[in-house]
Amino acid sequence: MIFDKLTALEAKYEQLMAEMGTPAVQADTAKFRTHSKTVAELQPIVETFREYKDILDQLKGAEELLKDPDMRDLAHDELQSLEARRDELLSSLKVLLIPKDPNDAKNVVLEIRAGTGGEEAALFASDLFRMYSRYAERQGWKLDVLNMSDSGTIALIEGRNVYSRLKYESGVHRVQRVPVTEASGRIHTSTATVAVLPEAEEVDVQIQEKDLRIDTFCSSGPGGQSVNTTYSAVRITHLPSGLVVSQQDEKSQIKNRAKAMKVLRARLYDLEMQKQHDAIAKDRKTQVGTGERSEKIRTYNFRENRITDHRIGHTMHQLTAALDGDLGELIDAAVTYFTSEKLKDATGGENAA
């Protein structure tokens, strides 16, 4: 029951507050810092819960006043106001109980690759990159291309809470349209894959030099055209996982290596998160709102100017605007849906009262 969870959290909060006032904890810097962090995380929940309990007490008083004929009208108005506030606080408490995603505030490494469909898939991958670039620009984020080739693009997006907004974009995106090269006007279906990886710091992923094989080569442009006669391009192979990252956009080998390491670190971090996710999923009878990137998450239908998100059953008929970076409606709908699913998981569908 939610009420029991909240009561336990309030008791934990009071215990930590009491311990922080003791000489032993105050003398232990690390412990005091840990206690302070936990108290800060619990404070919004505890304060809201205490107001919620106070409202429940006031409701009991208002219900008693209903029995008095002289106070009935006044008590009725107060009851309505208190019930509205109670419902607001209950909704807030449910949201506060959702486990925080530690990656939400992180920057992301965005990988977009052409899927099935040949040249049309590559064109669609370019369209998706432009779409996310425009969206990033609207959000005031900074986008830095790490690698660009015929098959796709890898970019680093930096800004406020980037991962929290883009994390549900991972998956297979499908396009239905008439290619420019199609003379008969027949609609083709192509796909591109999008991966949104939280940028990992060195403290998140420890990479040993002995686990890396680093090869250098001359960078080249599309079609094999040489663009640099020096060995500035870098290919890093992480031997334990088999992951391979290549980087050749910079003329400096040092810069290419640094960019490649960013991508490798993000992929290793994502790999570890997937392992944890799979381990948790094995203990659950059903898996809801996973946002697995193997899923076909969206269809972009040009003839109908329509985008449909298959995971959440949301359709909008502003495809042109979306491809120009106006993704607010789609992203908000996905965030709302998956937050709701997490809420069910966190509360078990129970009421606090």
Distance CA 213, CA 3 (A): 54
**Where is the domain boundary, 30, 62, 97?**
97
CA atoms within 13 A on the CB side of 20: 16
Give pLDDT tens digits along the chain (353 positions).
788 889 999 999 999 999 999 999 999 999 999 999 899 989 999 999 999 999 999 999 888 888 877 787 788 888 999 999 999 998 888 878 887 788 888 999 999 999 988 889 999 999 999 999 999 999 999 999 998 888 889 999 999 999 999 999 999 999 999 887 676 778 899 999 999 999 987 667 888 899 999 988 886 654 444 445 567 889 999 999 999 998 887 888 888 999 999 999 999 988 888 876 666 455 443 333 333 445 689 999 999 999 999 999 999 999 999 999 999 999 999 998 998 888 776 666 555 55
Query: Do both 35 and 146 map to the same domain?
Result: no
CA angle 134, 139, 142 (to 5 degrees): 75
Residues 6+ apart with CB under 8 A from 38: 12, 16
User: What pTM was computed for the model?
Assistant: 0.67
Residue 239 per-residue DSSP state = T
Query: Do both 155 and 22 map to the same domain?
Result: no
Task: Give pLDDT, residue 224.
Answer: 43
Position 234: which residue type?
Answer: V
Query: Do both 41 and 167 map to the same domain?
Result: no
Coil, strand, or helix at residue 17? helix
**Where is the domain boundary, 32, 67, 97?**
97
Task: Give pLDDT, residue 190.
Answer: 92
β 188-198/212-217 pair status: unpaired
Range of the domain at 164: 108-283+290-341
Task: Give pLDDT, residue 69.
Answer: 79
Give the position of tokens 């790999």.
271
